[in-house]
Amino acid sequence: MNHVPTVLLIGGVDAHLERFHALGVKTVLIQHPDKITPYQNHTAHALLMLDYTDWETVRPFAEAARDVYGADAVVSLTEPGLTTAGRLADLFGLSDGRRYEASRRMRDKYLMRRRLAERGLPVPEHGLVDDRASLAAFGERAGYPFIVKPVSTTAGFGLLRADGPRDLDAVWARIERMRGGRTDRGSTMFTVDGFLMESYIDGPEFSVESLSFAGRHVVVAVTEKLTDDAHFAELGHVVPARLSDTDRNRLTTAVQDFLTAMDVTDGPSHTEIRLSARGPMVIESHNRVGGGHISELVQAAYGIDLIAYGAAWPLGLTEPLAAPPEPTAAAVTRFVLREPGTVTAVHGVEEVAARPEVLLAQVSVRPGDTVRELRDNWDRLGSVAVTAADPDSAVRLCEHLVREEIRIDVAPAVREGLRAA
């Protein structure tokens, strides 16, 4: 009788379970009670509902699941589950014993900086925040502007910028409000357990989407990020990035060196990097597929399903990529933004979604919802992704659809002074 592989899947969304289901494997899903969906409940071979970010809670249940169902691989494709999956894989002898430490270094931005410095790779001036005085000392030592951010959250949560000494009181007050709590925007599964200071990295920003096969890193795509220096929210993504061959090679080489230094050996990774005046400089990285619909863009432009590789490779159910793929099209995401206020009407989403060149169109607000001031990725209202023959055409089409075809009417927010009057 042929052996049917069993995967212990830690967290994730429906798309992750869909890929394992398509492989015909048994999936034992350990999922946070707040994240379970009807599809997961129906599709998983077995479902354990618990907080998988708590090691003392998850370990005995995972060991019991392995004893009952077996486990050929422990996988997570979502940020909160990566370190737990690595720790279980090491514990069960399903890795080389270094996966947990590699995941922990990728998750903790301070540990990442230390590792890169030890390996002789470029890093900005950096340090941990201890108190208000440490902010002032860092500014004197490293200069302004500098960035302060939680060491282990995601999606731009809690990022702060100090442009001069006058900003430090406000920065410190914000740190004190966030320290020790859970993220209060988007997912609440991250604990704010420390803050990193680092010199501002200039230059255009990109992300590099890679697949690693037993220590060999294949760059699948370089994604151009559409940003605005006024805030930390990403405005959109362009695949493939509009780059010269020379700059593309500089970025891909830097990321391959980075992944090797971080001991990432297998699976997908998403590395955010800038082409700074000092050369390519990694901002942060994740041993998972990138968010913001990057996986859909890569599949449309290159025909590579990053999530499917992330599911099949740990189980030995796919061959490694021999070389980087060539794009056959371009794909772009633009995020839906509006001025702060209260939503009064939403129109045009279904019509845009029905267009043949549109990969997806969605909004997360309805009449009565509040539109917050744009600070990070959690303040975006939705997204549109399209495909076209080339990046410039895709950008133009996507911007038109987001700004002209999708209509979100917003009653402006009343300023505090006017409300008081």
Q: Which distant-in-sequence residues (6+ apart) come within 8 Å of 5 by Cβ? A: 23, 25, 26, 72, 73, 315, 316, 317
Give the tens place of pLDDT for each residue, 206-259.
999 999 999 999 999 999 998 776 656 778 999 999 999 999 999 999 999 999
Which CATH topology does 330-421 take? D-amino Acid Aminotransferase; Chain A, domain 1 (3.30.470)
Residue 419's pLDDT is 46
In the predicted structure, residue 261 carries a pLDDT above the cut 50 = yes
Task: Return the minimum-mean-pLDDT range out of 81-85, 209-213, 416-420.
Answer: 416-420
Predicted local confidence at residue 420, as pLDDT: 44
Q: Are 74 and 10 in contact (CB under 8 A)?
A: yes
Which tens digits make up the pLDDT trace of 123-168?
999 999 999 999 999 999 999 999 999 887 655 567 889 999 999 9
Topology match between the domains 201-328 and 330-421? yes
Question: DSSP assignment of 65-129, as one string?
Answer: HHHHH--SEEE--SGGGHHHHHHHHHHTT-S-S-HHHHHHHHH-HHHHHHHHHHTT----SEEE-
Quick one: fold of 125-199?
Answer: Dna Ligase; domain 1 (3.30.1490)
Domain boundary assignment for the chain: 6-95, 125-199, 201-328, 330-421
Q: What is the pLDDT of residue 421?
A: 39
The correct answer on CATH 3.30.450.190 for the domain covering 201-328 is no
Taking CA atoms, 324 is separated from 30, 205, 331, in Å, by: 33, 21, 18
Tens digit of each residue's pLDDT (9 = 90 or more) over 263-295 = 999 999 999 999 999 999 999 999 999 998 999
* pLDDT tens-digit map of 37-56: 999 999 999 999 999 999 99
User: What is the share, in percent, of the chain residues with pLDDT greater than 90?
Assistant: 80
CATH of the structural domain 6-95, one choice from 3.40.50.20, 3.10.20.600, 3.40.50.2000, 3.40.50.1360: 3.40.50.20
Percent residues over pLDDT 70 in the chain? 92
Residue at token pair 């398509």: 22
Cα–Cα distance, 10 to 52 (Å, whole number): 7
Residue 188 has pLDDT above 60, yes or no: no
